[in-house]
Every structure is written in structure tokens, then in C-alpha cells.
Amino acid sequence: MSHYANHVETLQARFDEALQATGFESALIYSGQAAVAFLDDNPYPFRVNPLFKYWLPITDSPKSFIYYRAGQKPVLYLYKARDFWHAPIDIDVTLWGDFFELKVVESLAQVRSDLGDALASTALIGELYEPLDGWDTAAKNPQSLIDHLHYQRAVKTDYELECLRKANTLAARAHNAARDAFYAGASELEIQHAYLAAINFREQEVPYNSIIALNQHSAILHYDVYDRVASAESRSFLIDAGATYNGYCADITRTYAAKKTGFYQELVEAVDKAEQAIISEISPGTSYYDLHVSMHHKIAQILVDFNFFKISPEEVYERGYTNAFFPHGLGHYIGLQVHDVGGFLKAADGSSYERSARHPFLRLLRDIEPGQVFTIEPGLYVVDQLLEEFDGNDDFNWTRITELRPFGGVRIEDSVLVTANGTENLTRDAFDALK
């Protein structure tokens, strides 16, 4: 049996369990539709409901539905409007055709009519545009059902892993092109164009806005403005950019020094080494939170080794200073969404962990299990806003911090699969395969 066949079988079992636990007989998953800009008739780029593409590698079919009744073959209501304004959607059924009952519809009313009285025992999952908000379903987006499904999604099927590996291969190829553009003296916008061209993607097809940051822009965590003119002096380049395959996401960050010797290059190498060291600490049964704290201690050591502080690494962490240089979380689940869901769930019943007061931006608090895929992305930056409260503090070596400021910072990010015997680094394997 193929990986995809096993995937559908797993999803049926997961939905059966979730429906029974929450008291619904069936689920109706709406793919979604493109929202229209305010006071305009132009739509925003369409983003499919992640629970729709969980079942099917279809990411560009608005107004379609998947109907799943416990224990039965899922039905795909594929929307194809009679429309001479737009090109028809070309859907390849090769992979999934045998596993779904296909019904082509021209209106949402046909779906409602076809389901009839079954809607009364069905949970509708999706954005509630008209006329869906008026349908007489048992519930609309019931949190209990969504929590159950999100909890299950943390463990990936072999099909999902196959898609994630291919997404990482695409992203790694584009990253190499962006790196080469940087060393050739390109502007941020030109680097972005090189990235997209390397994998033949439109900008709306990448899973998130690429972070293409030169020099001090590297200290802006979600920088996506893109200077159109090349910098007069190129010092550093941080790129955080991804790709998709069958709706599954890659999320990769790399940092490069313009000069391959000296202080900043050594700092990049130190963060890269620490990132690989923390990956070696991953094992089933341990807490991701503990992994995050361990990374903070490694960042504290780097800060002291590079003379950013006049105190010990232990004091740097205990006094809360590492949060100013490494303010974000160590990572997050990744899969159907870049920031995949379920990171705070303790169990399928929706019980959840409270965010850490010390590390409020950490997106993942669950224990580590085989089959999980998450990112590992430590960083070290000069963020002046975060340093304001420490102004004048003699524990800091402000002269050294000033040296780093024109470079912005450093971040390294890989996606890691947890196995019973260790880890598989999806990202580094992808780069290695391209050598």
C-alpha cells in the first residue's frame, strides 16, 4: 500500500476517534474562499483550510468540501463554476482518486441539497462566509473537535514526511540561489527574485513572506520590506524562507557573512554549532521547554565567549539577559502550516499548557514524541528596543554590542524529525543532497 493510502487510512481512524469523542456523526470541511479587499473587488491570495489539504493535495480549489461520515468513504465536492472569466482549475486525481467519491458541483447550494438531513449531525469546519453561516449544521467549528484533530496532527504519517522532505529540497535549492545572489552583490528584492526563480514559484505560493535581510535588517525578526537598491556595504545576510509541496511547508533560516573571516563569521559559526548541539539533545520523552532553556544556556555561553558580557554564562541567564538577545522561541511544529498547531495541547480533550512567563513566545510546550517534526531555530541579535531597559548596566559590554549592531544578528533554522532512535534533519539532508 502506498504512503498516501496509509495516510488516508490513518486520517479516517483519527477522524473516527475525534467524532466519537465529541459527539458528531460526520465532518464537513470547507476549503475556503478568497476574501475580497475592503471597498474593492480584487481578492487577497487564497489560502486553503489546512484540514482540507490534510486529506488531499489540493491547495487551489476554493468553495470545495470534504464530507466524512465515520466509517465511510470520504466525499469530495469539487467546485467548478461555469465561469468564462477565469481559467478552469486543473485537478490531477492520480494520487487520491481511488480513495474519494468525487462529486463535481457548480454551487454551494448543490452541496447543501445533496447532504440534506445529514447536516443536522455534522460539524462544519471552515471560515463562515455566506451562505455557510446559515446552514443548519450540528455545530460550526466546534473547539472540542478541532482540538482533538490538532492534537493528533503532531505525529506525522509517512506520506506527510515524504511531502516535508520534498518541500525542504525545494527550499534548500532556492536558499542556495539566494546565497549566491547575496555574494554577487544583489539587493534584497533581487535576492527574493532569485529565490523564487530557482524553484519557479510565484510569491503567493511560498508558505510565508520570505525574510530577506541585509546588514542591520537581520535584527528585525520578521523583516519583509526588501530594499530595492543594493547596500553600499554588504556585511551580513539573514534569509528565513520556505517552500511547499502538496501543501506541506518547509521553513529554513541561514545567515551569511560577507567576509568569511573575522568576528561576525565566527559568531555565525558559533550559533550554527550550538544549533547542531541542541539537536543532539533531542530524544523522545523529554520536554521541548527544557530544550529551549538548554538553548538559552548555550546562547549565554556564546555571549560570554564573544565578550558581550563581563559576567559568567550562568549569571547571564539567571538575570534574564538572554531574552534580550534571543527573544523568540526555539522552534515550533511544522507541517500543513508553518507554525503547525497543537504545541500547547496536553491531550486530545483540549487541556493545555500555560505559556511560560519567562519565555512567553515559545510556541511548543509538549513533550517530544517519535513522529513529531519541529523546527530548531536559535538566534542572537542586537534589538535596541529590548536593550533599552538595560541601558547603562555594567554587566554588558556595550562596546562589543555596538560592533555587532551593523550586522543585525544571526539565526540558523532546521526542521527535525524525531524517531525512536534519534533524529532526522530534513533540512540539512536536503542541502547535502544538492551538493
Binding residues for Mn(2+): 240, 251, 332, 377, 413
What is the Cα gyration radius of the chain? 24
Q: What is the DSSP letter of 244?
A: E
Q: Residue 53 and residue 59: Cα distance in Å, rounded?
A: 6
- Name residue, grid cell 503567493: 204
Q: Residue 272 phi/psi, 5° resolution?
A: -60, -45
Spatial neighbors of 278 by CB under 8 A, at least 6 apart, are 291, 294, 295, 298, 330, 376, 378
And the C-alpha cell for 35? Answer: 476574501
Q: What is the DSSP letter of 94?
A: T
Q: Which residues pair with 241 in a beta bridge?
A: 252
Q: Residue 193 and residue 184: Cα distance in Å, rounded?
A: 14
Q: Residue 413 and residue 275: Cα distance in Å, rounded?
A: 8
Q: Residue 311 and residue 300: Cα distance in Å, rounded?
A: 10
Q: Residue 56 and residue 58: Cα distance in Å, rounded?
A: 5
The amino acid that residue 214 corresponds to is: L
For residues 278 and 270, the answer to whether their CB atoms sit within 8 Å is no
Distances (CA, A) of 316 to 291, 298, 320, 322: 18, 11, 7, 6
Binding residues: 240, 251, 332, 377, 413
The span from the first CA to the last CA of the chain, in angstroms, equals 32
User: Residue 204: helix, strand or coil by DSSP?
Assistant: helix
